[in-house]
Chains A and B, each alone.
Chain A
Amino acid sequence: MNSFFARKYVVSGIFVAIALTLIARLFYLQIIDDSYIHSANSNVMRKVIVYPARGVILDRKGKVLVQNEPVYDLMVTPREVKEIDTALFCKLIDIDKEGFIKRMDKARAHSPYRASIFEKQLSVRTWAQYQEYQYQFRGFYVQKRTIRSYPDSIAAQFLGYVSEVNDKDIERSNGFYRSGDYIGRSGVERSYEDLIRGKRGVNNLMVDALNRPKGIFMEGKYDTLAVAGEGLVSSLDKDLQILGESLMKNKLGSIVAIEPATGEILAYISSPSYNPNLMVGRQVGNNYMKLLNDDTKPLFNRPIQASYPPGSVFKVVSALTAQQAGVIDRNTVFFCPHGYSYGGGRGWMGCTHYHGSTTLQRSVAVSCNTYYGFTYAKMIDGRGLSGPKAYDLWRNATTQFGIGHKLGIDLPGEKPGLLPTSEFYTKRYGNDKWRSSFNISLSIGQGEMGITPLQMANIMAIVANKGFYYRPHLIKGIGAQKIAKKEFTEKISAGVDEKYYPVVIQGMSDAVNTPEGTAWSNRIPGIEMCGKTGTAQNPHGENHAVFFAFAPRENPKIAIAVFVENAGYGGTWAGPIASMMVEKYLKDTITTPKYIQDRIYKANFLPAPKKVIDPKSKDVKKADSIKSKTDTVKSKRQLAALVKPKETIVHHSEVKRRHE
Chain B
Amino acid sequence: MNNQKNSFFGKIDWLTITLWLSLCLIGLFNIRAAVFNPEMPGFFTLGTNYGKQSLYLISAIILGISILIIDAKFFSSASPIFYGITAILLVIVLVVGRNVGGNQAWIDLGFFRLQPSEFAKLSTCLLLANFLSAQSNKAPTMQTLAMGAGIVLFPVFLVMLQPDTGSALAFFSLIFVFYREGYVNNELLIFGGLCILLFVLALLFNPWILILVLAAIIGFFMWSFRKKRKYIINLSILFAACTAFILCVDLVYDHVLQPHQRDRIDIILGKTEDLKGKGYNLNQSKIAIGSGQFWGKGYLQGTQTKYNFVPEQSTDFIFCTVGEEWGFVGSVTLIAIYLTLLLRIIHIAERQRSAFARIYAYGVASILFFHLFINIGMTIGIIPVIGIPLPFVSYGGSSLWSFTILLFIMLKFDSNRKGVV
Contact = CB atoms under 8 A, between A and B. Distances in A.
B251 interface: no
A77 to B, nearest CB: 16
B179 A10 contact: yes
Contact of B289 (A21, A36, A43): A36
A40 interface: yes
Given A3-B182, A16-B339, A30 B323 contact: yes
A14 B362 CA distance: 13
A30 B289 contact: yes
B223 interface: no
A622 interface: no
Contacts of A210: 308
Interface string A38-70: 011101100000000000000000000000000
Contacts of B91: none
Contacts of A16: 339, 343
B388 interface: no
B380 A29 contact: yes
A3 B304 CA distance: 51
Contacts, number: 131
A164 B335 CA distance: 56
Given A7-B179, A8-B350, A36-B286, A43 B308 contact: no
B179 A40 contact: no
A22 B307 contact: no
A206 interface: yes
Contact of B328 (A10, A19, A27): A27
B293 A30 contact: yes
B280 to A, nearest CB: 10
B186 to A, nearest CB: 8
A44 B307 contact: yes
A23 B335 contact: yes
B309 A43 contact: yes
Interface in A6-33: 7-8, 10-12, 14-16, 18-19, 21-23, 25-27, 29-31, 33
A43 B287 contact: yes
Interface size class of B (residues with CB under 8 A): 35 or more
B307 A30 contact: no
Nearest to A43: B309
A23 B291 CA distance: 16
Nearest to A32: B290
Interface in B255-290: 284, 286-290
A209 B307 contact: yes
Contacts of A22: 335, 373, 376-377, 380, 382
Nearest to B349: A8
A135 interface: no
B176 interface: yes
B332 A208 contact: no
A11 B343 CA distance: 9
Contacts of A40: 287-288, 290-291, 303-304, 324
B419 interface: no
Contacts of B153: none
Interface in A192-240: 206-210, 214-215
A10 B181 CA distance: 13
B339 A30 contact: no
B351 to A, nearest CB: 9
Contacts of B136: 2
A26 B182 contact: no
B38 interface: yes
Interface in B283-317: 284, 286-294, 303-304, 306-309
A19 B335 contact: yes
Nearest to A1: B350
A283 interface: no
Contacts of B38: 214-215
B380 A26 contact: yes
B346 A11 contact: yes
Contact of B291 (A3, A5, A11, A37): A37
Contacts of A3: 182
B287 A4 contact: no
A27 B293 CA distance: 9
Given A12-B343, A37-B291, A23 B332 contact: yes
A11 B303 CA distance: 38
Interface in B335-351: 335-336, 338-339, 342-343, 346, 349-350
A36 B179 contact: no
A132 interface: no
Contacts of A18: 369, 373
B365 A26 contact: no
A11 B180 contact: yes
B37 to A, nearest CB: 10
Nearest to A215: B38
Given A16-B339, A26-B380, A206-B303, A31 B309 contact: no
Interface in B164-183: 176, 179-182
A1 B136 CA distance: 10
Contacts of B416: none
Given A8-B350, A16-B343, A31-B294, 16 more contacts: A1-B350, A2-B181, A7-B182, A15-B365, A21-B382, A23-B332, A26-B328, A26-B331, A26-B332, A27-B328, A30-B323, A31-B293, A36-B286, A40-B290, A208-B309, A214-B38
10 contacts: A2-B182, A8-B349, A12-B343, A15-B365, A23-B331, A25-B380, A26-B328, A37-B290, A43-B307, A208-B307
| List of 5 A-B pairs having minimum Cβ-Cβ separation, nearest first | A36-B290, A40-B291, A208-B307, A44-B303, A29-B290
